[in-house]
Structure 1
Amino acid sequence: MPFFQSGEGALYYEETGTGPSLLFIPPPALGTESFRQQKEVLSERFRVVSFDPIGTGRSPDHGRREYTIEEWTNDILSLADHLDLEKVLLCGYSLGGSPCQEFALSYPERIKGIILLCSFPEVSTVFLSAKIRIGEWLALKDFRTVMGEGIAISHTKRKDKLGSGLFRSLVPITKPAGWVGYYQSPHF
């Protein structure tokens, strides 16, 4: 399995295809599996790369319970450096859009562009806030199966091969306490 070094340790990543590089940045808990369909289609024209952030999927949590957007941004920089990418095109999904935006602001000389999918600059609605609080509670109680099932269904809208793949990637390898750390970051 391919890993790259960043900050306190190694993080898992996947790459496929040839052409211009496109880095997918997932939200907490989803990791590389959330971009399975995009990888299959886009790898014909792009070098498609994704990684599991700290405590997600195959990346260890390195004992961390808190993970800031700045640290996540530095992980993107470490991955770009590891792959010898001078400039990057980033695609952030959901909360994965926050480190993409921070990367563009912090390293403007390294950015080709950003694509934001269902991303948000802050939690400003009652519905999203409630959804995050429920997720935090489930994670803290270590209800991985319930949380994994809910995330898989809510991010695929159906229980199919993609949803099953997401579920398998979330349970049991992702560390639930790490999920909470993303959302309770003082910088989010």
Structure 2
Amino acid sequence: MASFEYRGGRIFYEEMGSGIPLVFIHPPGMGSAVFECQKPLSGWFRVILPDLSGHGRSPVCQTNISIGGYANEIAALLDSLKIERAAVLGYSAGGLIAQEFALTYPERAAALILASGYPEVQSAAFKYEHLAGMYMIKHHPDILIPLLAASHTRDHAYRARLAEHMELADKQIWFQFYGQSLHYSCTDRLKELKAPLLLMYGSRDFANQHIRSYKKHIDCQSAVIKKVAHQLPTKKWHAFNQVILGFLFSEAKI
């Protein structure tokens, strides 16, 4: 993996392919390994897979993390690669960082893709899911990590790689990321988004209710992939990648 210096530490990332830069932003704990099935997109795009600080191979660079702080990390990553504009894709809570990046750096976001994303935690069930994640990573990471790996794939070798990558994450940063995600909201700023927006959900994911929330505030495209819940990048990666291809070729302007 390549890396660049950031706030006294280093941010590690993988980079492959050429064309429109496409940055993938992972959710709490998972690191870049969750996007292994998106590497084939490097046949069309310049795929960039960072481990946010405190995740994967990237050490803790900021002891009190925030969604805005992670958005700044993405900007610093682009600076290190001398990239002016990029498409950004955030998966689950990683989508909060993608949205914050597009809002804070509108001139740098060529397109915004949210996979199983949301602008804020709205329902009691979704709040409980975040609180449960915080409890489990604090008290039972040995249970949470294999559960997350198993929920993302039936491939035992890939499960092992996901779990190994998650083991590298700083558990306090993981806990903070859940907490920051729970309390973040950009709903009132959605109308300020300038980048073309694509929403992607699984038909079995209760998070797809957020399509209505977004469309109240902003024009956007949406795609619902059948026979899958939350884990689009790993469980339905063929369809997921095809939708990304079509959207970026149509909408992304560098």
Query: Do these two structures clear the TM 0.5 threshold for a shared fold by scoring above it?
Result: yes
**What does residue 101 of structure 1 align with?**
99
How far did 1:8 drift? 4.5
How far did 1:159 drift? 4.6
How far did 1:103 drift? 1.2
Corresponding residue to 2:149 among 146, 149, 152: 152
Give the stretch that moved more between structures: 78-87 or 13-22: 13-22
Give the distance between the partners of 1:169 and 1:175, measured in 2 at CA.
11
Assess, with a 3 A threshold, how the Cα gap between structure 1 residues 155 and 125 changes in structure 2: closer, same or farther.
Answer: farther
Identity of aligned residues (%): 35
Report the secondary structure of 1:19's partner residue: coil
Please, what TM-score do these two structures have when normalized by structure 2?
A: 0.67
**What does residue 59 of structure 2 align with?**
60
Q: Which structure would you say has the larger RCO, counting Cα contacts within 8 Å and 6 or more residues apart? A: 1
**What does residue 13 of structure 1 align with?**
13
Report the secondary structure of 1:185's partner residue: helix
Give the stretch that moved more between structures: 93-102 or 53-62: 53-62
Q: Does the 8 Å contact 2:95/2:114 carry over to 1?
A: yes
Give the distance between the partners of 1:46 and 1:161, measured in 2 at CA.
27
Structure 1 residue 167 corresponds to structure 2 residue 166: no
**What does residue 225 of structure 2 align with?**
none
How far did 1:11 drift? 1.1
- Output aligned runs, 1:108-187, within 5 Å: 108-141=106-139, 143-156=140-153, 158-171=154-167, 173-185=168-180
- Structure 2 gaps of 5+ residues are 185-254
Q: Does the 8 Å contact 1:7/1:75 carry over to 2?
A: no
How far did 1:23 drift? 0.6
**What does residue 71 of structure 1 align with?**
69
- For residue 165 of structure 1, what is the amino acid of its counterpart? R
Give the distance between the partners of 2:114 and 2:12, measured in 1 at CA.
22
How many residues are aligned here?
Answer: 183
Give the distance between the partners of 1:159 and 1:150, measured in 2 at CA.
14
Report the secondary structure of 1:75's partner residue: helix
Give the distance between the partners of 1:25 and 1:63, measured in 2 at CA.
17
Q: Does the 8 Å contact 2:7/2:61 carry over to 1?
A: no
Give the distance between the partners of 1:91 and 1:73, measured in 2 at CA.
12
Please, what TM-score do these two structures have when normalized by structure 1?
A: 0.89
Listed one character per residue, the Cα deviations across residues 71-120 of structure 1 (whole Å, up to 9, x for unaligned) are 00000000011111111110110111111111111111111111110011
**Cα RMSD between the aligned structures?**
1.8
Give the distance between the partners of 2:122 and 2:157, measured in 1 at CA.
33
Give the distance between the partners of 1:68 and 1:43, measured in 2 at CA.
30
Q: Does the 8 Å contact 1:28/1:53 carry over to 2?
A: no
